[in-house]
Chain A
Amino acid sequence: MSEPIVELRHVRRVFEEGRVVALDGVDLLIEPGSFVAITGPSGSGKTTLLNLMGAMDVADEGEVRVDGVPLDREAALDRVRAERIGFVFQMHNLIAVLDAIGNVELPMMPRRLPRAVRRERALGLLGQVGLAHRARSSVRGLSGGERQRVAIARALANDPALLLADEPTGNLDSVTGDAVMRTLHDLRARTGSALVLVTHNEALCAGADRHVRMQDGRIVD
């Protein structure tokens, strides 16, 4: 059996000086290349869990590892985010002052790749999400679905082993949302990345290797 891409052991995360317990003793293993869906009511700890897996936050107690790297030091968090994780947000979070291709290039900048290499790779990724023709378009000129596809291309820029998506269709109509999910699944299949999807929409969980249900900061199923 291969080493899990994500490993959480007895993880606890609190806010407001302990008054709000977001995660309470969570254990979770995610296999490389798998598709894991996380659902639960608002405030159940889904996004906090995703942030810990995404090296965007640090647990108060317990251990979080991504690809075997313990996420307990700031330098490790930065490196893991840059090299192993791709993030798709509910609000695409594209940089408005850049065009589509400029946004896809952003995660590659810390790797000091030559600009031409970055450009070529970004264009290839935009092609994979069907937006090569909009490479030079301003973010403001893209539709909601197009923006989210650009965000997916950006998330894949550094060949992440782990793709994290937080309500990626939450702000899209159902047709566009379905198209975005198809794109995510196609790319996951092509790249072999593990996909962790946080959603309220149970329908999006179809085909998941594991469906994690959360409530009050705990995994209940």
Chain B
Amino acid sequence: MIYVWRQLLARKVRTLLCLLGVAVSVAMIVSILSLSLGMRRSLNRYMEASGASLIVFDRSAADLAFSRVSPEEIARLQALPGVIEIARANFTAVFAPELGERERPTGFSVIFVFGRFFDERMVEKYEEHLVGGRMPAQPSEILLGRLVAARLGIEVGERFPLFREEILGITEYEVVGIFETELSWENLGVVADARVVQEKVGGGEQYALVFVYTHGDDVERVRDAIENTLPGLIATRAGEFTDRFSDQMAYIDEFILVLQLIAATVGILGVLNTMMMSVTERVREIGTLRAIGWSRRRVVGVVVGEGLLISGLGGALGLGLGVAGTEAVIAFVSDGLLIAAYVLETFVQGSLLALVVGLVGSLYPALRASRLRPAEALRHE
């Protein structure tokens, strides 16, 4: 171990650069996994906050933005035994810098627009989170998330040209209230009348999500009934929303997997390059070790040990960098809109990545070093 350690210290700059390479790879993975998990959890929390027993959406939609539940399906939903009440929801997003005279620079230039019917139960949760004003009652009235209000400098009572076009005869909306929930991205949203949002999105009357309210004991039965009666829809408990939506979100997992492979490849190439250089420079030294009785296996152990030590230290640094980097991105780049969740599994995955990088990256140089005949190695200039 001392020999391994001193070999690395003898080439400080190279060791440090390789270590940083591994650290960046691991940090990238930790960051992506933590943000992905954080966003999934926050989406679940958003659904749970609705108070609905079940969330219903389009089984064939590749993304929530493409989920379409028709009025006919909603009518059949409402008629199912055990369904007490439903609430319809749709949404869109608008680009903030195009908001006319009130345009102000924002860190994150998208405003989410949550379409709701103001007389349906789903909108009640915003009443609990009002920090000013009152609940909207007409299509020309809206609620602003606290971040939108703060960033655009809009107060209750002011008028706001949300879409910068006339929809259902409305161009400017009266801000009747400002809300603040625990989810930062929701606070960068606007709650508007579902019919206005629907008109903006186009395609006739249809909704992305339907929130279904039942008695506690009826949830499973109602869920089965929905999926049996309406096979084109998925019904899921609010807290399990992202799990049930996983097929549709598989492309995110695939994207993460591709990034992991890229990170691993970059890390492996870094360790491979460093260890190959190290072994090439130490041919005589390895020959000497073999001459004084070190077996091939021991030489492999030393070289792999060096690779693992670099990647282990790089991995440990990467775990810390991953958390620090993620928090920095959340604070300074996303203005707090992204949400990260740090779990043991992520750190285990990051550590495993580092170990695989160290092992795979050093194995070939180690085997090459061990194959050297001592006499041949000692002749090396």
Interface residues of A (CB under 8 A from B): 48, 51, 54, 56-57, 74, 78, 81-83, 85-87, 89, 93, 95-98, 102, 106-107, 109-110, 154-155, 157-158
Contacts and interface: CB of A to CB of B under 8 A. Distances in A.
Interface residues of B, number: 23
B285 A110 contact: no
B344 interface: no
B374 A56 contact: yes
Nearest to A99: B6
A57 B292 contact: no
B285 A109 contact: no
A74 B293 CA distance: 12
A51 B375 contact: yes
Nearest to B5: A97
Contact of A110 (B6, B9, B10, B294): B294
Which of B291, B374, B378 counts the most A-chain CB atoms under 10 A from its CB?
Answer: B291
B292 A81 contact: yes
Contact of B7 (A78, A93, A97, A158): A97
A81 B293 contact: yes
B296 A78 contact: yes
Interface in B273-298: 284-285, 288-296, 298
A106 B289 contact: yes
27 contacts: A48-B375, A51-B374, A56-B373, A57-B376, A78-B293, A81-B291, A82-B293, A82-B294, A85-B293, A86-B292, A87-B291, A93-B291, A95-B3, A95-B285, A96-B10, A97-B3, A97-B6, A97-B10, A98-B2, A98-B3, A106-B3, A107-B292, A107-B293, A109-B294, A110-B294, A154-B292, A158-B293
A95 B298 CA distance: 16
A77 to B, nearest CB: 9
Contact of B373 (A57, A86, A110): A57
Contacts of A155: 292
A107 B295 CA distance: 11
Nearest to A57: B375
Interface string B94-109: 0000000000000000
A107 B293 CA distance: 6
Contact of B284 (A57, A78, A93, A158): A93
Contacts of A102: 2-3
A57 B284 CA distance: 15
Contact of A93 (B2, B288, B375): B288
Contact of B6 (A57, A98, A158): A98
A105 B4 CA distance: 14
Contacts of B2: 98, 102
B72 to A, nearest CB: 78
Which of B6, B288, B376 counts the most A-chain CB atoms under 10 A from its CB?
Answer: B288
Contacts of B9: 97
A157 B268 CA distance: 38
B292 A87 contact: yes
Given A56-B374, A56-B378, A97-B9, A81 B288 contact: no
Given A89-B288, A95-B3, A83 B293 contact: yes
Interface in B165-204: none
Q: Which 3 pairs across A and B sit closest by C-beta, in order of nearness?
A: A82-B293, A56-B374, A97-B6
Given A57-B373, A85-B293, A107-B292, 16 more contacts: A56-B375, A81-B291, A81-B293, A83-B293, A86-B292, A89-B288, A93-B291, A93-B378, A95-B288, A96-B10, A98-B6, A102-B3, A106-B3, A106-B292, A106-B294, A110-B293
Contacts of B291: 54, 56, 81, 87, 89, 93
Contacts of B288: 89, 93, 95
Contacts of A87: 291-292
Interface in B27-71: none
A81 to B, nearest CB: 5
